[in-house]
Chain A
Amino acid sequence: MSLQWQCTPPLLIFRNKLTLNSGDLAAPFHRPRDHMCGRVMTFDRGLVDVGLPSGSWSNALARTATMLSIARNSLRPTINRMRVARSASLHTLPELPYAYNALEPHISEQIMKLHHMKHHQTYVNGLNAAEEAYAKTPSMKEKIALQSALKFNGGGHINHSLFWKNLSPVNEDGGKLPQGPLKDALERDFGSVDEFKKRFNAATAAIQGSGWGWLGYSPATQKLEIVTTPNQDPLISHAPIIGVDIWEHAFYLQYHNVKADYLNAIWNVINFKEAEHRFLEAAE
């Protein structure tokens, strides 16, 4: 059972939590003042989590909470009872925006097929299984134990979804960086587009293990920066503009151990139009 009330103005980011025992839950209780937004929900075990905005408002709501001393079975019928939302909707493998052979000769059809239909699909399946298990378990310990599966498979799904979109065939302008805000920003932040590619490739090739090379936009410095993430960690510190997979499965069948050749070749199929779209969205 849960209680919810609509908040005006709209709900703010919650920072503090006030946890009450179910015995404290009662109605009637006073709705907090309008500028104090919160949401009270009970979970199946009867714990009440009160999401509160930060700061001194929480004191006020805490005082409100201490007024909740009437037994739970005297709840007003006007209060909505809603089931806590359980399982999230299932993730699915996004379609490749081009044919499997469309990135030849830079990335082979064989690699694209395996990479999309096997590797990415496995992350999707793994993510769905992890989310299902997470929703089902009431145990905090089990939830924590599931975190690495969520991060690995969730990150794999996020990263590869971004990847397919930031590649495009040569005949759809893959590899072409038109005059515009992205090109200007690359020249501003790296000196030249060639220098950017050189540094990107060096940083990405230097990853010690599996991972991803990124061109990211830093909201803090408002600059484009080259960042790497290990394994399937998603890029969180920056807005992803271009991602390049440097896991061996991304290139080994075609380039063997010579990852430098893969990194040189991939620039022929980078979708700079998508990259510029992401950049404009991030920079605003």
Chain B
Amino acid sequence: MSAQHTLPPLPYAYDALEPHISRQIMELHHTKHHQTYVNALNAAEIAYAKASTPKERIALQAALRFNGGGHINHSLFWENLAPASANGGVLRDGPLKEAIVSTFGSVETFQNTFNTTTAGIQGSGWGWLGLNPSSKRLEIVTTANQDPLLSHVPIIGVDIWEHAFYLQYLNVKANYLKAIWNVINFEEAERRYVEAINGSRL
């Protein structure tokens, strides 16, 4: 039997991302939504270990993908957010900034393109800045529902499920997408980028 997954603690207080992401959203998002993915992933893995036929295992794949993806995606998400007091929103000169500017022209263009692409998802999903492992280029990619990002190394992920913003931004997801750049943890993003460029995950 595989080890049970647990909800990772939030690296900051629930109200630390105010006013950009409200405490109410952070509490529900972490303690309810993410916790539910963890619980269901554990249940699905237990069932999978017990399953004795390919058919039973295949029948469990959707639950593993959905809940496993939900756990992966949200774990990455909490880490790539940071309060203003911990340099959230600050993109310092360095390899990540260079790569963004050289790929997208400017940081602003990158953010605008990211936001337009993410807002264009038809349903629930995630917007990602990812590193293409073959070309080693930064690319903006999306995944549907709780599909994890497999084609690229995830650098920054943004949750665009309605539960991520609705209580605060209602239907105006464009405002959420503008606001969230104030709390993106570019230091963590750069760590992921440097690790990916150096090939240790590829």
Contact surface of A with B, Cβ cutoff 8 Å: 114, 118-119, 122, 148, 152, 208-211, 230-232, 247-249, 252-253, 256-257
Whether the Cβ atoms of A249 and B171 lie closer than 8 Å is: yes
Whether the Cβ atoms of B123 and A230 lie closer than 8 Å is: yes
Contact surface of B with A, Cβ cutoff 8 Å: 28, 32-33, 36, 62, 66, 122-125, 144-146, 161-163, 166-167, 170-171
Out of B36, B124, B163, name the residue touching A252 (CB < 8 Å).
B163
Closest chain B residue, CB of each to CB of A149:
B122
* Chain B positions within 8 Å of A252 at CB level: 162-163, 166-167
- CA A114 to CA B36, docked complex, whole Å: 27
Known contacts being A114-B171, A119-B171, is A257 close to B122, with CB within 8 Å? no
- CA A52 to CA B88, docked complex, whole Å: 64
Known contacts being A208-B62, A208-B146, A210-B124, is A256 close to B32, with CB within 8 Å? yes
Whether the Cβ atoms of A248 and B122 lie closer than 8 Å is: no
Whether the Cβ atoms of A257 and B166 lie closer than 8 Å is: no
9 A-B residue pairs with CB within 8 Å: A208-B146, A248-B161, A249-B162, A249-B166, A253-B170, A256-B28, A257-B28, A257-B33, A257-B36
Known contacts being A209-B145, A248-B161, is A253 close to B122, with CB within 8 Å? no
- CA A122 to CA B163, docked complex, whole Å: 19
* Chain B positions within 8 Å of A232 at CB level: 122-123
Whether the Cβ atoms of B123 and A231 lie closer than 8 Å is: yes
Q: Tell me how far the C-beta of B124 lies from the nearest C-beta in chain A, rounded to whole angstroms.
A: 4
- CA A252 to CA B28, docked complex, whole Å: 11
* Chain B positions within 8 Å of A231 at CB level: 122-123
* Chain A positions within 8 Å of B167 at CB level: 252-253, 256
Out of B28, B123, B170, name the residue touching A209 (CB < 8 Å).
B123
Closest chain A residue, CB of each to CB of B122:
A152
* Chain A positions within 8 Å of B66 at CB level: 208
Closest chain A residue, CB of each to CB of B65:
A208
* Chain B positions within 8 Å of A119 at CB level: 171
Whether the Cβ atoms of A248 and B36 lie closer than 8 Å is: no
Residue from B124, B125, B167 with most neighbouring chain A CB atoms (10 Å)? B124
Q: Tell me how far the C-beta of B94 lies from the nearest C-beta in chain A, rounded to whole angstroms.
A: 36
- CA A232 to CA B33, docked complex, whole Å: 22
- CA A210 to CA B167, docked complex, whole Å: 17
Q: Tell me how far the C-beta of A110 lies from the nearest C-beta in chain B, rounded to whole angstroms.
A: 9
Whether the Cβ atoms of B124 and A257 lie closer than 8 Å is: no
Closest chain B residue, CB of each to CB of A117:
B171
Known contacts being A118-B171, A152-B122, A210-B124, is A253 close to B32, with CB within 8 Å? no
Q: Tell me how far the C-beta of B52 lies from the nearest C-beta in chain A, rounded to whole angstroms.
A: 24
* Chain A positions within 8 Å of B124 at CB level: 209-210, 248
- CA A118 to CA B145, docked complex, whole Å: 22
Identify 9 new A-B residue pairs, CB closer than 8 A, beyond the known A119-B171, A208-B146, A249-B171.
A114-B170, A114-B171, A208-B145, A209-B125, A248-B161, A249-B166, A257-B32, A257-B36, A257-B163
* Chain B positions within 8 Å of A257 at CB level: 28, 32-33, 36, 163
* Chain A positions within 8 Å of B32 at CB level: 256-257
Q: Tell me how far the C-beta of A34 lies from the nearest C-beta in chain B, rounded to whole angstroms.
A: 47
